[in-house]
């Protein structure tokens, strides 16, 4: 009974990995198309690819006990909690830095008070 469940989970993981690999190919195809044909690199491609690879590896380690390279791995208790906690603190820190950057940019633009252009000389006829 447990062998059937393990085989079903393994088959599901193989399916998810296959779909994820096809998604990676499509994403990188869009990156190449955007970069060389549209002359506009999509900014989300690298992050999406890394996220998909991390998800595949996490699922493989969780259910099969092996990572993408085939090395045996064991789940560490408390790892998920620590990663979620660190992610929350990182997001809060990034939000604070974003707010401070906006504040400093507004101060800079207000203090600057320069005209958009400077007229060097006026010639009258």
pLDDT tens-digit map of 89-114 = 999 998 999 999 999 988 888 888 77
- The residues that bridge with 66 in the sheet, in sequence order, are 72
Q: Compute the distance between CA of residue 119 and CA of residue 40 in angstroms, rounded to an integer.
A: 35
**Dihedrals phi, psi of 72, to nearest 5 degrees:** -70, 135
Which pLDDT does position 96 carry in this prediction? 93
Residue stretches of the chain with pLDDT short of 50: none
- pTM for this prediction: 0.43
Q: What percentage of the chain exceeds 90 in pLDDT?
A: 9
pLDDT of residue 67: 61
Largest CA distance in the chain: 98
pLDDT at position 108, please?
Answer: 85
Which residues are CB-contacts of 75 (< 8 A; sequence separation ≥ 6)? 61, 62
Packing angle of the helix pair 2-36, 45-64 (nearest 10 deg): 170
């Amino acid at each position: 009974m447990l062998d059937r469940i393990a085989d079903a989970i393994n088959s599901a993981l193989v399916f998810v990995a296959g779909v994820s690999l096809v998604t990676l190919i499509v994403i990188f195809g869009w990156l190449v198309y955007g970069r060389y044909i549209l002359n506009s690199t999509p900014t989300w491609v690298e992050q999406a690819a890394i996220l998909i690879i991390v998800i595949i590896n996490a699922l493989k380690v969780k259910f099969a006990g092996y990572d993408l390279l085939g090395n045996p791995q064991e789940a560490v208790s408390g790892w998920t909690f620590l990663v979620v906690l660190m992610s929350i603190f990182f997001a809060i820190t990034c939000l604070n830095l974003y707010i401070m950057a906006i504040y400093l940019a507004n101060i800079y633009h207000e203090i600057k008070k320069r005209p958009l252009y400077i007229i060097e000389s006026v010639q009258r006829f």
